Amino acid sequence: QVQLQESGPGLVKPSQTLSLTCTVSNGSITRGGYYWTWIRQRPGKGLEWIGYISYSGTALYNPSLKSRVGMSVDTSKNQFSLNLRSVTAADTAVYYCARDRATSTVTYYFDSWGQGTLVFVSS
Amino acid sequence: SSELSQDPAVSVALGQTVTITCQGDSLRSVYASWYQQKPGQAPRLVLYGLNRRPSGIPDRFSGSSSGDTTSLTITGAQAEDEGDYYCDSRDTSADLRFFGPGTKVTVL
């Protein structure tokens, strides 16, 4: 069973860049058919899809965050990363990495999740 | 369209049946997936595709779909089924993913 684990600072200052890494274990990030995804959850709120990156580096972002988001993948380390620029208090959230899987043109689901990491944005 | 709607909260007596729904135009094109989240935990996939359960999910969880609405039914709800349930879909034209606002399920 593939496992995902987020890592990164738990505190980021306003206007700076939030950087997180997700390490994938018990499975290769280069295996086809998956999209490596970031999802966040603000305190007391629902889930928000941030975007995904494929192992080849193709990325797609939530339009509401697109101007501030960047994702990258490091296949040699079996990791993928999130950068969120110019953060504000509104970016305080639990950030999850997840594996997005498509088994047909009508069936998509996040079958594996990291435990999540809480990131505070505060001075 | 990239919007999904869910009832904010439902309650069910222990051992009874509860159905939660998720509605949105995208569901006419793709199947929703469903996630259970308990306090302090990551979401867990409980249903995907046309009524498919991942390994380890009890068969009391089932799903159905009609038009723009998909449903998750818990038959014989247990105390451990309490939590927030989110549906998720995909905008096939823009290749975006999005979640419903969530339904809080309380087992009485």
pLDDT (tens digit, 9 = 90+) per residue, A111-121?
999 999 999 99
Q: What is the mean pLDDT of chain A?
A: 96
% of chain A beyond a pLDDT of 70: 100
- Whether B28 has its CB under 8 Å from any CB of chain A: the answer is no
Compute the distance between CA of residue A12 and CA of residue A51 in angstroms, rounded to an integer.
Answer: 20
User: Is the predicted pLDDT of residue A43 greater than 70, yes or no?
Assistant: yes
Q: Tell me the shortest Cα–Cα distance from B78 to chain A, in angstroms.
A: 23
Which of A66, A25, A67 lies closest to A49 in space, CA to CA?
A66
A61 falls in which pLDDT band (50, 70, 90)?
A: very high
Whole-number pLDDT of residue A14: 97
Compute the distance between CA of residue B7 and CA of residue A29 in angstroms, rounded to an integer.
Answer: 36
User: Is the predicted pLDDT of residue A42 greater than 90, yes or no?
Assistant: yes
Over chain B (108 residues), the average pLDDT of each successive run of 10 is 90 97 94 96 95 95 95 97 97 89 97
pLDDT (tens digit, 9 = 90+) per residue, A66-105?
999 999 999 999 999 999 999 999 999 999 999 999 888 8
Whole-number pLDDT of residue B81: 97
* CB pair distance less than 8 Å for A46 and B99: yes
Residues of chain A in contact with residue B42, where contact means CB-CB under 8 angstroms, are: 96, 113-116
Q: Tell me the shortest Cα–Cα distance from A22 to chain B, in angstroms.
A: 14
Cβ(A79)–Cβ(A67) below 8 Å:
no
